[in-house]
Amino acid sequence: MATQTTEERISERLELSPEEAKLLKEGTLADTEIQAHPRDFYRAMRHGDPIHFDEKLGSWLVTRHEDISAVQSDPVTFSVKHGYSEQQARGMREEFEGYLREHGGGYFPDAIMSDPPYHTRIRKLMENAFTAHRVKELEPRITAVVHDLIEEVVAKGEGKCDAVKDIAIPLTIRVIVEQLGLDQGMEEKISRWSVAVTAQIGAMQTRETMLENAQQIADLQNYLIAKMKEKEANPTEDMISDLVHAEVTNEDGSKEKLTFEEAVSLVRATLIAGNDTTATAIGNLFYVLTTRPGIAELLESVIDDDRQLNRFIEEHLRNEPPVRALSRMTTREVTVNGTTIPAHAHMLLVYGSGNDDETVFPEPRKFDIERKNIGRHVAFGGGPHRCIGLALARMEVKVAAREIVKQMKNLKLAIPESEITYTPTVATHTIESLPITFEAR
């Protein structure tokens, strides 16, 4: 297909099919069917109502790439702090906080989910744990962890496994254990903790699940606090030690450190933010390798060419973005792309839709590693809140891709595609289970 002209794009934007018009009128991102298969809904919004009010969620959905970029580059008008705390334990916040104060060593507001100028200070201190040195130092350790895990699965799987439950999730957890300097053998606990924290931004909790999740988070905090105290006294080569000892020097020569509460919240954020997201990216990689013709061959053809492999990973993150939508809250009335949003309104930046915006990425469903603007995707967000762990995430997905190709071949989905289930959440687009068959290489 030839690249469209601006006029053609605009006229296409104005034309909604009857099905799209119906979807726009009746659809909601709270619907688990739409959460699982959102692309038609995204497209209808982008074309018919790019800043769409989702009544069921009570949120404004920002769906076009251009508008997402504009919103994320103005962190004062569009507050992460208020957006996040509005999402957290929606409607049950006090009870949630009280539980953690009583049972979890305290309530530690997420220091990184904040606004400038406070966010600028925290981000600088947090960057101590994400230096190029730390990422480079982790690569051989991560490669060994990923190699061993896939080897175990291949050895015992007899050509069958669940690519999400047996590989993507445990792999990411083992990596995070290495990265943070936690104890091995905690996979199951970390997985439960991760689900509980992530549920806070998923907008799908009942009171009962909120309380169960609060219990898990309390358990997590108690574990982390003990670990941090250990590393405060005896630093080791890992991210918890980096955060506990983080220090920046201001222009006037004065030094700044994180408070203990801030450090706890950042260790928790590092554990959680990189876990589900990266596991989702790897689960999605298995999904495209088993369902999209030609992708496995394409990956094999680039596996020894670092530049092309990096492009493959970037296009994968654009094509199947793990993070679907994250929150902002308006601090004043504001007009975005002709739509006026009131003050104190909750918004979701729908990164999943931005990555499919055909005005930026022609033929968005085509997996094309030759795209000229391959790096413009918003899978890692943008602006001052752009993912702090992106170098680590890219490396981890790349290492996983390499090890999959080295050790497995002829990957096939073991269930009909229509039976794949997704985690009910607005925040990510996550496959829950992906049974596959394969041959050992």
Binding site for ligand HEM (CB under 6 A): 72, 80, 112, 123, 269-270, 273-274, 277-278, 281, 322-323, 326, 351, 379-381, 385, 387-389, 392-393
Taking CA atoms, 156 is separated from 5, 173, 409, in Å, by 54, 20, 16
Tokens linked to 93: 């916040």
Q: Nearest 5°: phi and psi at 329?
A: -135, 135
Cα four-point dihedral sign 44, 46, 47, 51: positive
Q: Which of 318, 327, 351, 321 minimizes the C-alpha distance to 65? A: 351
Shortest gap between Cβ of 221 and ligand HEM (angstroms)?
17
Closest to ligand HEM by CB, 52 vs 385, is: 385
Strands 59-62, 346-350: pairing kind: parallel
Q: 23 vs 135, which CB is nearer to ligand HEM? A: 135
Identify any residues that bridge with 60 across adjacent strands, giving them in sequence order.
Answer: 53, 347
Neighbouring-strand partners of residue 323:
428
Nearer to ligand HEM, 278 or 331 (CB): 278
Closest separation between CB of residue 138 and ligand HEM, Å?
Answer: 10
For the CB of residue 208, give the shortest distance to ligand HEM in the complex, in Å. Answer: 28
Cis omega (within 30 of 0) for bond into 117: yes
* Pairwise CA distance, residues 88 & 96, whole Å: 9
Smallest distance from ligand HEM to CB 1, Å: 28
Closest residue to bound ligand HEM by CB: 389
| Alpha carbon distance 293, 275 (integer Å) | 28
Q: Which is nearer to ligand HEM, 65 or 123 (CB)?
A: 123
Q: For tokens 């109502």, name the residue.
A: 49
* Least Å from the CB of residue 42 to ligand HEM: 16
CA angle at 189 for the pair 187 and 192, rounded to the nearest 5°: 110
Q: What are phi and psi of 161, to 5 degrees?
A: -165, 170
Nearest CB to ligand HEM, comparing residues 157 and 355: 355
Q: Which is nearer to ligand HEM, 202 or 389 (CB)?
A: 389
Of 100 and 395, nearer to ligand HEM (C-beta) is 395
Q: Residue 99 or 108: which CB sits closer to ligand HEM?
A: 108
- Nearest approach in angstroms of CB 62 to ligand HEM is 11
380 near 390, Cβ under 8 Å? yes
**Can you tell me the distance from the alpha carbon of 201 to that of 326, in angstroms, rounded to the nearest whole number?**
8
Shortest Å, Cβ 290 to ligand HEM: 19
Using the 8-state DSSP alphabet, how is residue 188 labeled?
H
CA 108 and chain centroid, separation: 21
Instruction: Please give the structure tokens belonging to residue 419.
Output: 């039976």
Which of 14, 219, 194, 201 minimizes the C-alpha distance to 100?
219
Could you tell me if 118 and 372 are in contact, meaning their C-beta atoms sit under 8 angstroms apart? Answer: no
The distance of closest approach from Cβ of residue 288 to ligand HEM in the complex, given in angstroms and rounded to an integer, is 14
Nearer CB in complex with ligand HEM: 123/174: 123
Question: Least CB distance from residue 86 to ligand HEM, whole Å?
Answer: 13
